[in-house]
Amino acid sequence: MTIQNIGVVGCGLMGSGIAQVAVQSGYDVIVAEAAQEFLDRGLQRIEASWSTMLAKGKLSEAEVAASRARLHTTLNLADFADRDIVVEAIIENKEEKIKLFRTLDTILPANALLVSNTSSLPITELAAVTRRPSQVAGLHFFNPVPVMKLVEIVRALETSDATVATLKDLAASLDKTAIVAKDTAGFVVNFLLIPYLLSAIRMYEQGTATKEDIDAAMRLGTGYPMGPFTLLDYVGLDTTLYAAEAIYDENRDPMYQPPVLLRRMVTAGLLGRKSGRGFYDYAK
């Protein structure tokens, strides 16, 4: 199957990035949200990214105008009736995702693919509520989507070879490198990344070093582009907590048990850059 048009549900950090990359790659995209204000915020994020890319000569005015013309928005999922594939990028809540997959399954054409950008929830559970489990998979992008080159394709129990092949072609057309992972919580990247981030929080709780020094240690000692606390703030503390909980729920390995400080910070609304404060202050 060849993908010609794409639907994205959710215009947050990830959904807006996925929509942006897809229109830049020539696809007609409809992005859906629950309320206009969420669409407006996502579109602002895309425009800001295009301004940066224009200023750096990575895109021309004509390319931005053509991309903008391919990007459509909706508050009504019924508009997805002609989509070849829909990428779900809503909040990391299993019940919400299951409800959405059930609905999308009734709207999409019979041959359309239905994929989730979830970072760690089981794809097989989403596939199981549809009548098209062989056409359901994970398609996990990384933040910032316009920059990060990786996509994880997650093969659920019943995902067909044809679906995986179509997703590999799609990833290549988006200028991403795809890897294929089994449907186990965290897939490849978060299975490795989450214990690292949680260990940094535990180290900070124990007073081993300041957060600034832990960040500097990993940047300068190992060449990571961001230290763990800068990355936690960048990814979002809530997103990190959901991912950790999902993996811990599945394997009960203490490495994935969220530290108390992470829980408290999320409860207090200290979510990182997106809320203005996390481990660091972004108010300025």
Binding site for ligand 3HC (CB under 6 A): 49, 52-53, 56, 119, 142-144, 146-148, 190, 193, 225-226, 231, 235, 239, 243
Q: Which of helix, strand or coil describes residue 274?
A: helix
Q: Which listed residue (49, 67, 92, 140) is catalytic?
A: 140
Known catalytic residue: 67?
no
C-alpha 188/C-alpha 118 separation (Å) is: 13
Q: How far apart are CA 97 and CA 54, in angstroms?
A: 35
Select from 127, 119, 195 the least CA-distant residue to 157: 127
CB of 65 vs ligand 3HC, minimal distance in Å? 17
What whole-number distance in Å separates Cα of residue 13 and Cα of residue 144?
8
Nearest CB to ligand 3HC, comparing residues 112 and 244:
244
Catalytic residue among 119, 160, 251, 275: 119
111 is catalytic: no
* 140 part of the active site: yes
To ligand 3HC, the closest distance from the beta carbon of 1 in angstroms equals: 26
Q: Which of 67, 120, 190, 245 is catalytic?
A: 190
Q: Which of 152, 160, 199, 251 is catalytic?
A: 152
Tell me which residue has its CB nearest to ligand 3HC: 119
Q: How far is the CB of 211 from ligand 3HC (least distance, A)?
A: 16
- Beta strands of the chain (E only): which ranges? 5-9, 28-32, 71-74, 85-88, 113-116, 136-140, 150-155, 177-182
Q: Which is nearer to ligand 3HC, 119 or 135 (CB)?
A: 119
CA angle 243, 125, 115 (to 5 degrees): 75
Identify whether 190 is a catalytic site residue: yes
List beta partners, residue 281. 277
CB of 152 to ligand 3HC, least distance (A): 9
Q: Which residues are catalytic?
A: 119, 140, 152, 190
